[in-house]
Every structure is written in C-alpha cells, then in structure tokens.
Amino acid sequence: MPDGTATAHLYLPKLATVMREGYGAEDLRRDAVAGLTVAIVALPLSMAIAVGSGVSPERGLFTAIVGGFVVSLLSGSRYQIGGPAGAFIVLVSATAAKFGIEGLLLTVLLSGALLTLAGALRLGSLIRHIPHAVTVGFTCGIAVTILASQLKDLGGLKLSGTEPGPLIPKLGALAQAMGTLNPAALALGAGVTALIFLIRRFRPTWPGMLIALTFAALLAAVLHLPVETIGSRFGGIPHSLPLPSLPPISLAKLLSVLPAALSFTLLGGVESLLSAKVADTMTARRHRSNMELVGQGIANIASALFGGIAVTGTIARTATNVRAGGRSPVAGMLHAVFLLAFMLVAAPLASYAPLAALAGVLVAVCWGMAEKEEFWRLLSDWRGALVLLTTFGLTLLKDLTTGIVAGCVVAAVLALLKRPVVEEGA
C-alpha cells in the first residue's frame, strides 16, 4: 500500500500543487458534485458522533465545517476529508465527563499544537510504521466500546446514576436498567440500522444514513412515539457558527489535560495517515505525511476555537469523495461549505431527529469500522494473534493509548526474538 514515503519530506499543501498544475471549470464541477455527496453523508454522521461523544450535536457540525475546511485547505493529500470520527467517541466522551466542555476544547487545542509539532519534527514516518495487527486491534476495540456506549440511547434506557465509562461497569449498569427498556426507541434504532444496511446492499450510491434518519424522524413525529429527540435533550441546532474564542488556559489546566491530549494526538495521527493511505491506494497518488500532520494539527486548533471537537481524516468519507469523482482538496472545502449551508437552512428540522435513530446510525458505523476479516485472519498466526489480542484487550479494558503502546511493545519484542542470531566472528 502506498505510504507517502517518497514525498514525506515536503511541506506544501496539495491544494497549492493542484493550483500550480492548473485547475479548470470541469475540475470545479466534479469537485462540487463530490463535495455535495460527501456533505450529505457527513450531515447525519457528524451529529450522531457528537451525541455519541456526550456533547451537543452542533459541535459535530462545527467540527466538520471548520475543521473539515482547514483539513482540505492544508492537507498533504488531494482527497482527504476531515471531520469528527467515530474512533474519537470514547476519548471525547471521557474527556468531556472529566474536564467539562472547556477542558475538552483545551484538550483539542493542545492536541492540535502537538500534531503540528509532530509534523514539523517529521514524525509522520514513525506513525506510518505502527504494526498492522495493532491498528486492527485498536480499531476493533474502539468499535466494540462505541457499540456499548450506544446501547443506552438505542434502547431508551433510564439509568439510576451516571453511565460508567469503563466497559465492564457500563455493561453491568445497562443490564440493571433493562427494566426501563423503551420498545419504541429500540424498534426505531434497530430499524435505522437495518435500513442503512439494506440501502448499502441494494442502492449503494444512495445516502443511506440521511434517508434512514429522515424516515425515523418522520415516523416518530407522525406516530407521536414516546422517544427522546435532539430537541428534547439539547434544545435544537443553532443557525450559524459561533464567533471564535479561546478556552480558559492556565499551566495547571494544560498539565491536567496533557495525558488526554497525547491520546488525541496519537489517535489523530494514526487515523489521518491511514485515511490518506486508503486514498493513495484508490487513486495511485502519494500523500505528504508530515504536511498531513501539520494540516490536521492546525485544523484541530481551528475546530477548538469555534467550539468543535477533535477532527481527523475520515476513511469512509474520504473514500466516498474518491468514488464520487473528487479531483482535488477543493472537494473537501466545498463539502464544508455545503454543510454550513445545510445548517443555516435546515437547523430547525434536526430537532426532530430521535436519539435512538442516531444511536442506530452509530451501530452501523461500528459494524463498518471493525475490520472483522482482518481480525480473524490475524488470529491464524500466533505472533499476529498475540499483538492483536494484546491491543484489542487493553483497548477494551484499559484505554486506547495503553492498547497501542502495549501492542507496539509486544510486536517489537517478537520482531527481536524472530531475528536470527549472528555467530560471533562470522
């Protein structure tokens, strides 16, 4: 798979390269079509990821609009689409619960600075070489954790206290709350997931998530179903972007959020470069890995200033951009502009979206995120299985950073043990 090695040293956004090579009306037309296609996919997904992360849905839109625009503007890839990602749900949720919204914004801001520094120090090469078994392990671990986090809204469950963060206590609390199961919410959420899968199977070019979410909102409103909606929990979506502002900053606060910011930085770097590699494979192009990290870092800083959450390159939306005929970073910039237009025009309609339906969207995301075939394939070799299960297990039971670090350590030890010993004097 192309990894950007040949151009890793370049610090020139691909947008500048595209414009230098020549950009015409036909390129703009194709980029506009691709941008609109991706925006239709990103609209329900951005809100669902924000709600799943424990923050209000407009923060997901702010992230996709501001962060997504800057990602494409400064990206080291021609096709990268940035926005909120499902992989960040667990980290964002835990950070918001521990430090509050202002602490979360400071964490995103700090992680943006660290990503920019990582790119400037040319650490993109290092991130590219994280073992495949580690990436499959933490991706599957994140998928399972996200799925568990959506069970409450999917079933309309009412917990007696705050929902625990760790997986095992969370499942215990959810089991105790099964007596509060809302059949209407469960049917709506499961129906959304099923409809998304059906559309993917029989009409793959249709915007399945948006269709399913719209149908669920109409059904809940017409039948007066007793389910919680975006409007009933959050009060609706604003009609415009907020003015940029810095979260409160002090040395003590920076030190307190630093561990979380390091986790954000590690995951953001891995996700964005994986996404860029996928685009390279689909287009036979080469991304500039260090420029990509710099662009992702500045995008996170911009997202935090506008009240958004963590932004990264998103594999599914980037692949959608390529399939829709996107030619350049202009497609990603236009996707952000279209999202802004949707928010300005249709913000009141979002209030009717049932939370169970958003949970159903994320269930479909989890299924697509988990690399199931690769997981089973890696289990066939004991070395790959050991790295995979170490990463997977610790991501589930501890946290993402522990899982990635432990998986890399195990992989390094196995590589050293496998290396043949050279006889002295040979």
The 10s digit of each residue's pLDDT in 374-383 is 999 999 999 9
Q: Do 54 and 41 touch, CB atoms closer than 8 A?
A: no
Per the structure block, which two tokens stand in for 400?
């993402």
- Which residue type does 230 have? I
pLDDT value for 425: 44
Best CA proximity match to 265, nearest among 299, 307, 226: 299
Sign of torsion over alpha carbons 46, 48, 51, 57: positive
Task: Return d(Cα 350, Cα 293) in angstroms, integer.
Answer: 33
Best CA proximity match to 246, nearest among 254, 238, 235: 254
The residues pairing with 313 across neighbouring beta strands, listed in sequence order, are 82
Considering just the CA atoms, what is the radius of gyration of the chain in Å? Answer: 21
Q: Do 333 and 74 touch, CB atoms closer than 8 A?
A: no
Mark the ranges of the chain whose per-residue pLDDT is less than 70: 1-9, 128, 419-426
pLDDT value for 420: 60
User: Can you give the pTM of this predicted structure?
Assistant: 0.86
Which helix (H) or strand (E) segment is 43 a member of? helix 25-52
Q: Do 62 and 244 touch, CB atoms closer than 8 A?
A: no
pLDDT value for 9: 60
pLDDT value for 379: 94
The residues pairing with 229 across neighbouring beta strands, listed in sequence order, are 354
pLDDT value for 281: 86
Residue 123's SS3 state is coil
Which helix (H) or strand (E) segment is 312 a member of? strand 312-313
pLDDT value for 422: 47
